[in-house]
Structure 1
Amino acid sequence: METTTNRTYPQIISPSSLLEHWQGHRRVTRRVIEAFPEDAFFNHTIGGMRAFSKMVMELLAIAEPGLKEIVNGKPEVFDEEFKHDNTKATFLKLWDDSTEAINTYWTQIKLEQFQETVTLFGQYEGTVYSQILYFIDNEIHHRAQAYVYLRSLGIEPPLFYVRD
């Protein structure tokens, strides 16, 4: 049996294409935040699910800090209960700031790092690329919940496939 220590993995998507895919989803999520009436963003729930503002807090607590931890190799605190002023404008600003930070951290990830195993927030182990895919999948999951909320409020959600 032959052991190979220097494996090469096929690249099926470039880092810049993956980032654009992720940022496309972030643009849709931003439009979903905008679509909510102010009060409903913080208070509307169905079936025991959290208000969308709480879901957005989770997304903000994962994406930028997780990417920062990948880049710096220093543990980040998972804080989805941060203080805010209960305005949608604040959340949109936080979203935009996070988007900009993601773009900055992204440029610091080397191609070979995507295959490395990391443990984020002291507990979630996986390869860098699987962590990033989780960030994206989790956002899509919560955005789908927000679509249900918007429809229950009689509001047509943004088209999920329009990512510009």
Structure 2
Amino acid sequence: MEFDWKTWFFEVWEDNRRLTNNVARALAGADAMDKVLVEGMRPFREMMLEIAGMEQWNVRGLAHDDWAYQSPPDRLRTAPVEEVLAFTNGVREETRRLWPDIAPAELVKMRPSPAPFIPEGNAVGWLTYALENEIHHRGQGYVYLRLLGQEPPAFYARTEG
């Protein structure tokens, strides 16, 4: 049986998004989505919007060959946390809808750079970067929770809630 990289990657991505959402909810519960607890780091709200923007950009690019980056709505920078989570969950729903239509060959096809900050390559590399970026930012959320004296969600608990 041939390994289905596309399905495997999406399941890993889903697990990671549940973990990220758990950290976001924990920070929201501590009223800390907009706090900067370490100099040089950003509020977790900004990190969540970046994660969603990268996901949306990659998936729309692959599904529709539309590589125009669309920033998350500015209103989310000050909106209640529930609206930010609703937006990021909406992006994830769009990904779930579009993912099955992306042919596996599209994931490995070499492409020119779609943006100045992205090297030429393939979607496997770009999606892996997006996932690693999410993991990195989630780690920053764990640091924030620890600094607040909060026990972060278990990184091995892959369920949301």
Residue correspondences, number? 154
Which structure 1 residue ranges, 4+ long, deviate > 4 Å from structure 2? none
The answer (yes or no) to whether the contact 1:61–1:80 under 8 Å persists in 2 is yes
Task: Give the alignment's TM-score, normalised by structure 1.
Answer: 0.85
Other-structure match for 1:100: 93
In structure 1, C-alpha distance between the alignment counterparts of 2:79 and 2:102, rounded to whole Å:
34
The answer (yes or no) to whether the contact 2:37–2:147 under 8 Å persists in 1 is no
User: Once the two structures are superposed, what CA deviation does each residue of 1:46-81 show, in whole Å capped at 9, x if it has no partner?
Assistant: 122111111111111110222111211122225267
Q: Point out where structure 2 has 5 or more consecutive residues left out of the alignment.
A: none
- Equivalent in 122, 127, 148 of residue 127 of structure 1: 122
Other-structure match for 1:31: 22
The answer (yes or no) to whether the contact 2:57–2:68 under 8 Å persists in 1 is yes
Q: For the pair shown, which has the larger CA radius of gyration, 1 or 2? A: 1
In structure 2, C-alpha distance between the alignment counterparts of 1:101 and 1:107, rounded to whole Å:
11
The answer (yes or no) to whether the contact 2:107–2:123 under 8 Å persists in 1 is yes
- Equivalent in 135, 138, 141 of residue 140 of structure 1: 135
Other-structure match for 2:152: 157
Whether 1:89 aligns to 2:73 is: no
Other-structure match for 1:55: 47
Task: Give the alignment's TM-score, normalised by structure 2.
Answer: 0.86
User: Once the two structures are superposed, what CA deviation does each residue of 1:97-138 show, in whole Å capped at 9, x if it has no partner?
Assistant: 111111112111111111112333454132111111111100
SS in 1 for 2:128: helix
SS in 2 for 1:92: helix
Percent identity between matched residues is 27
User: Which amino acid letter does the alignment assign opposite residue 133 of structure 2?
Assistant: N
In structure 1, C-alpha distance between the alignment counterparts of 2:123 and 2:36, rounded to whole Å:
34
Identify which range, 34-43 or 149-158, moves more after superposition.
34-43
Q: Point out where structure 1 has 5 or more consecutive residues left out of the alignment.
A: 1-10
User: Which amino acid letter does the alignment assign opposite residue 98 of structure 1?
Assistant: V
